[in-house]
Amino acid sequence: GSQVEGVMAEKGLGPNGALRFCMAELRRSSWLREKLQALEDDKDCYPYVVIDCPGQTELYMHDDSLREILDELRTAFDARLVAAHLVDVAQCVVPASYVAACLLSLTAMLRLELPHVNVLSKVDMVSRYELAMPLEFFRDAQELRRIEPFCGTKPCPLEDDDDAADADAPRETDYAKNFRRLSGKICELVDDFSLVCFQELDVSDGASVARLVRVLDKCNGHPAGVHAPAELVEDATDLFLHHRGGRDGPAVDTRPP
């Protein structure tokens, strides 16, 4: 955070521009390679590295630095990478925001060209929200056109012919109509690719976390034991994951049901 703020002050950039500048500098530097090389050189370490990226969409939609960094890691370390793209369940409250999140998820999948898992996070909070469709619809992201009528203001019912009776009723503006049509076209685009769906994540539920870790492990080939010895692979996920209570809490049973 302080480095980004320093770049903002020195270069006269905004927050997003400073992040893009820092990402480009990271790509040109050897800092990340050296850190990972130290892990690889440690014979007692079987590294499972999590890279927490900023949430700014510019880094995935308009900038090639992150992709180039990941490509270099794959080449230099024979790394098995998987992208986990988190979308807050609160995005489902506003249908148009959810449609935009689906488009962003699709764009990240196409641009990063990695095994990819989209995650619908904070699902334990969903009971606080009023959703236009069941949660399963937002999780599966199939036939998105069904949510188009909820994007923007709904038109007045056709059967109401009494202008005086509903003169005060809100009518759909031209902006709202165009916005709804645009949302519908985005839905068609996402549906045509048929790539986007989400895994649910409730961090207060150890079983939910374990299911997601299993999915990620399958995507990056970790359970196959590409680099790790057999005795380590047997309980691979348990090395990272404990259910509630922190590091000393009871381990989660990560075996498939």
- Reported pTM: 0.78
**pLDDT tens for each residue of 109-134:** 999 999 999 999 999 999 999 999 99
Provide the edge-to-edge strand list for the sheet that holds 199-201.
83-88, 116-121, 199-201
Q: What share of the chain is helix, strand, coil (3-state, %, to 5)?
A: 55, 5, 40
**In the predicted structure, residue 249 carries a pLDDT above the cut 50:** no
The pLDDT value recorded for residue 250 is: 44
**In the predicted structure, residue 31 carries a pLDDT above the cut 90:** yes
148 within 8 A of 93, measured Cβ to Cβ: no
CA–CA distance, 186 with 181 (Å, rounded to integer): 9
Q: Kindly indicate the confidence band of residue 100, based on its pLDDT and cuts at 50, 70 and 90.
A: very high
**pLDDT tens for each residue of 191-242:** 999 999 999 999 888 888 888 888 888 888 776 545 545 554 445 445 444 4
**Considering the chain, what is the average pLDDT of its residues?**
81
